[in-house]
Amino acid sequence: MSRLGDLIRLERTRQGLTYKQVARKCGVSDKYLMEVEAGTRIIADDQARRILKTMGMQEHTEADFSLDDIAATVDLQSAIPSMGKAAEPPKKTVPEKEKPVAEAGAPVAGSIWLDALSGVLKHVPIYNAVMKEVGHRLLPITNGKIEGASPDKVYYFKAPDNELRGFRVQQGDLLLVVPAQAAVDGAIMLLQTPQGRVLRKVKRVNDYQAMLQKYENACESEIKNYNEITFVGRCVRLEAELE
């Protein structure tokens, strides 16, 4: 089954609409719609958008996920395990002609797939050295967390220089940062300094001191007391561009 077919199937099922009702509203045959939902017919993005909009689907969530973001990123079968059961056409309790049909273009609140995706995806911001947002990455949320931290607390930091090149971090690389206010031995951490935020490899010396390392052309180290260091976060993931 195609992802766009999943979206159409979920929204149609959520609204309790039959194939014929949706097909009539959208100007397509019910056979065409059934094949799209089954994944045996390829549907173009603009056609999928038109069908969803005609059913009353809002194109964006509050988190500004576009249909393109969702269809390209999420396996809806996994995101909504109960979809198989929900997809069965509802038993008719009243004649089809008497069933209420959503007015074209009207917004529909509480969409199943939008509600589900708001809990499994997060726009994670990318910040530069002066903490200005310069982009974002779409990351999955697992058990309400991203890398064990609150989704609202994680972000990417764009390496401003080559001071950690010897540790395989080069200028322009993206490091995913999770909150950490204490030294993590052996970790690359983000520190707040009077000159701004910097990346350093951290080694615990004892209960009172840590060694901060940088490695551009040669490894340089300095030992500081913990009360002289402001730890901002721990880097848990590196994304680099291949040249």
Residues 13 and 53 in one domain: yes
pLDDT single digits (tens) 196-218: 899 999 999 999 999 999 999 99
Amino acid 119: pLDDT: 58
Half-sphere exposure at residue 160, Cβ-oriented, CA atoms within 13 angstroms: 14
Q: Which domain holds residue 205?
A: 121-239
> What average pLDDT does this structure show over 128-135?
92
User: What is the token pair recorded at 165?
Assistant: 């090149």
Same domain assignment for residues 52 and 132: no
Together in a domain, 166 and 217: yes
Amino acid 1: pLDDT: 43
In-domain check, residue 76 = yes
Residue at 214 is within a domain: yes
Residues 132 and 225 in one domain: yes
Arithmetic mean of pLDDT over the chain: 79
Do residue 14 and residue 70 come from a single domain? Answer: yes
Asked whether the predicted pLDDT for residue 90 surpasses 50, the reply is no
Domain C-terminal end among 71, 91, 117: 117
* 142 domain-assigned: yes
Query: Do residue 141 and residue 230 come from a single domain?
Result: yes
Whether residue 107 lies inside any domain: the answer is no
CATH of the domain at 31: 1.10.260.40
Q: Quote the tokens at residue 51.
A: 């069908």
The answer to whether residue 165 sits within a structural domain is yes
Nearby residues of 209 by Cβ (< 8 Å), 6 or more positions away: 223, 224, 225, 226
Domain assignment of residue 169, yes or no: yes
Same structural domain for residues 84 and 140?
A: no
For residues 231 and 130, membership in a common domain is answered with yes
| Same domain? 77 vs 154 | no
Residue 104 located in a structural domain: no
Q: For residue 233, list its beta bridge partners.
A: 179, 190
Where does residue 104 rank: exposed (0-12), middle (13-18), buried (19+ CB within 10 A)? exposed
Question: Which strands form 174-179's sheet, in the order they lie side by side?
Answer: 133-140, 121-127, 155-158, 174-179, 230-239, 188-193, 196-204, 209-215, 219-225
Considering the domain architecture, whether residues 94 and 184 belong to the same structural domain is answered as no
Q: How many domains are contained in the chain?
A: 2
37 shares a domain with 145: no
212 φ, ψ (degrees, to nearest 5)? -105, 125
Instruction: Please check the confidence at residue 118 and state whether its pLDDT lies above 50.
Output: yes
Q: Is residue 108 a part of any domain in this protein?
A: no
Domain with residue 179: its CATH number is 2.10.109.10
Residue 108 above 50 pLDDT?
no
Distance separating alpha carbons of residues 53 and 57, to the nearest angstrom: 5
Which of these three, 117, 152, 172, is where a domain ends? 117
Residue 77: its pLDDT value, please? 47
Cβ pair 211, 223 in contact under 8 A = yes
Instruction: Return the DSSP state at 167.
Output: G
Please answer whether residues 120 and 138 qualify as being in contact, where contact means their C-beta atoms are separated by less than 8 angstroms.
Answer: no
| Number of Cβ within a 10 Å radius of residue 202 | 21
- Same-domain status, 86 and 159: no
